[in-house]
Amino acid sequence: MSLAGTKPLVAITQGDPAGIGPEIIAAAWPSRELHQWCRPVVVGYAEYLRRAASVRKLQLDVQEVANVEDAEPSPCLISCLTLGDGRAPEIPPGRIDARAGEAAHWAILLATELALSGKVQAVVTAPIHKEALQKAGHHYPGHTELFAELCRTREFAMLLYLAPGAPLKNPAGLSVIHVTLHMPLRKVFQSLTVDEIHSKIRLVDGFVTLLKEGKPRIGVCALNPHGGEGGLFGSEEATVIAPAVRRAQSEGINADGPLPADSVMVHARDGRFDAVVAMYHDQGHIALKLLGMKRAVNVTVGLPIVRTSVAHGTAFDIAWKGIADPGSLLEAIRVAALLAAKRAVSPPSP
């Protein structure tokens, strides 16, 4: 992939240092393609990156900078915008630790400030551990809600994007957006409203419009088995999902549904839809990850900044063992750079 014009500056947060975040950053860094896509700078502690490079047996130097403007990254040199006085807390690998949650939170705050001020053009996040974040006193269900609050955004959503490639038959790839997110399944039913579903249809329509020409084709999932079977298995299809789809259609959006969720994903794989609206977290995540776990990228849509993330967690079971796969991080960086370039040409509406 080549990006025209100046390469965007992309801030990469370290994630939870007890997990695989620092390691996958170090493992991804020597990639020549990464440095063709963007100018990457890590937000975190340089010491963790040095240790990660050692674990991976990589000949990498780490440059500590106080300002992103001073970053001079290369495949052999990691530029790190250090946190505070730069002294990294000693955190045991693979364990939930409030200090790790605090370090991850601090990196997110700084990266978001840089993006909102225009000093970087995108933010890519390594995985955090939600329990560690809570132990540090930061009570957010996850990255998505934290970014929304920092950006003072009320209309937002988690979206998983899968780039073109087998088994997808769509040259635009596949985008899956979620109406509800990090909540118990029993709360999903009362959280679905016409307004929320309509909002997510609009958000995914805007996202896909950035990536392809022509109107995006959007499939909207039913909530209940077999699309509710005319009310036999539930009424949400008739009471909230169908009205939201009709509202979107009246605005010129090419949305179809509610459709049985299992069928929607098959049709999307085969190229009928560019995007799918899932009603809850696992309805979207399971299907898309089966189609391409290593290529999947988490995107927060609705923000005034570009934010992408890996589609996996902290992987405490393999943390700091030198075996974590950096593939999802590389793809998240590639997509972030692509979106930053697209936004530079077609900025989002205020």
**pLDDT 10s per residue in the chain (350 long)?**
444 458 999 999 999 999 999 999 999 999 999 999 999 999 999 999 999 999 999 999 999 999 999 999 999 999 999 999 999 999 999 999 999 999 999 999 999 999 999 999 999 999 999 999 999 999 998 899 999 999 999 999 999 999 999 999 999 899 999 999 889 999 999 999 999 999 999 999 999 999 988 899 999 999 999 887 788 888 999 999 999 999 999 999 999 999 999 899 999 999 999 999 999 999 999 999 999 988 899 999 999 999 999 999 999 999 999 999 999 999 999 999 999 999 877 666 54
How far apart CA 342 and CA 266 sit, in angstroms, is 29
Out of 261, 280, 301, a domain closes at 301
Residues 164 and 99 in one domain: no
pLDDT at position 182 is 86
Predicted confidence at residue 2, as pLDDT, reads 41
Residues 210 and 130 occupy one common structural domain: no
139 and 261 fall within a common domain: no
In terms of domains, do 247 and 161 share one? yes
pLDDT at position 348:
62
CA distances from 177 to 22, 97, 292, 298 (A): 28, 31, 16, 10
Please state the three-class secondary structure of the chain as a single string.
Answer: CCCCCCCCEEEEECCCCCCCHHHHHHHHCCCHHHHHHCEEEEEECHHHHHHHHHHCCCCCEEEEECCHHHCCCECCEEEEEECCCCCCCCCCCCCCCHHHHHHHHHHHHHHHHHHHCCCCCEEEECCCCHHHHHHCCCCCCCHHHHHHHHCCCCCCEEEEEECCCCCCCCCCCEEEEECCCCCCHHHHHHHCCHHHHHHHHHHHHHHHHHHCCCCCCEEEECCCHHHHHHHCCCCHHHHHHHHHHHHHHHCCCCEEEEECHHHHHHHHHCCCCCEEEECCHHHHHHHHHHHHHHHEEEEEECCCCCEEEECCCCCHHHCCCCCCCCHHHHHHHHHHHHHHHHHHHCCCCC
Looking at residue 3, its pLDDT comes to: 44
Task: Kindly state whether residues 316 and 293 are assigned to the same domain.
Answer: no
**pLDDT value, residue 346:** 64
Residue where a domain terminates, one of 264, 284, 301: 301
pLDDT at 1: 41
Residues 201 and 282 in one domain: yes
| 283 and 345 both lie in a single domain | no
Please give the model's pTM, rounded to 2 decimal places: 0.93
Question: What is the model's pLDDT at position 4?
Answer: 42
Do residue 136 and residue 161 come from a single domain? Answer: no
**Residue 307 is part of which domain span?**
1-153+303-350
Where residue 275 sits, what CATH number does that domain have? Answer: 3.40.718.10
**Is there a single domain that holds both residue 205 and residue 295?**
yes
CB neighbours (10 Å) of residue 67?
Answer: 10
The pLDDT of residue 293 is 84
Q: Are residues 348 and 281 in the same domain?
A: no
How many domains does the chain contain in total? 2
Same domain, 289 and 343: no
Whether residues 72 and 57 fall in one domain:
yes
State how far the Cα of 76 lies from the Cα of 195, in Å rounded to an integer: 49
The distance in angstroms from the start CA to the end CA of the chain is: 29
